[in-house]
């Protein structure tokens, strides 16, 4: 089945640690996105990428880093510089065609908790 796979589903991080969230898609989509979801705040864009080896900061990129070495993969690293990392993280992809009509497809999310 085509889709987006995020792993792990649950992740626990100790203070001062970096952790990496995985996102893989087999939809052959060009664009990929990372969102953070906090209760009552909707989704906020962290990073986005259109093509391999290219990515751009979103609205809340501080404390996060990404890479796009393969079209299918867009991992997100939550660094120790992110002061409040506990949240639900969602990866998405879309078939970039230069229009605003293209919807995004979402993975099932990773819940990150600082312990």
Partner 1 sequence: AQSVTQLDSHVSVSEGTPVLLRCNYSSSYSPSLFWYVQHPNKGLQLLLKYTSAATLVKGINGFEAEFKKSETSFHLTKPSAHMSDAAEYFCVVSTHLSGGYNKLIFGAGTRLAVHP
- Give the binding site for partner 1 (CB under 8 A): 4, 6, 31, 33, 40-45, 48, 50, 56, 58, 88, 90, 92, 94, 96, 98-109, 111
* Closer Cβ to partner 1, 75 or 109, answer by number: 109
State the nearest-atom distance from the C-beta of 16 to partner 1, in Å.
Answer: 27
Residue identified by tokens 């990773």 is: 110
Distance CA 27, CA 91 (A): 13
* Closer Cβ to partner 1, 44 or 71, answer by number: 44
State the nearest-atom distance from the C-beta of 53 to partner 1, in Å.
Answer: 14
State the nearest-atom distance from the C-beta of 58 to partner 1, in Å.
Answer: 8
* Closer Cβ to partner 1, 50 or 86, answer by number: 50
* Closer Cβ to partner 1, 65 or 106, answer by number: 106
């Amino acid at each position: 089945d085509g889709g987006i796979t995020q792993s792990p589903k649950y992740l626990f991080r100790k203070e001062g640690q970096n952790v990496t969230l995985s996102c893989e898609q087999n939809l052959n989509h060009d664009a990929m996105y990372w969102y953070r979801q906090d209760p009552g705040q909707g989704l906020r864009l962290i990073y986005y990428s259109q093509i391999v080896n290219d990515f751009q900061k979103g609205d809340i990129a501080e404390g996060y880093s990404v890479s796009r070495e393969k079209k299918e993969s867009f991992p997100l690293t939550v660094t120790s510089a992110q002061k409040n990392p506990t949240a639900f993280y969602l990866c998405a992809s879309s078939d970039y065609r230069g229009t605003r009509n293209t919807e995004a497809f979402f993975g099932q999310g990773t819940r990150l908790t600082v312990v």
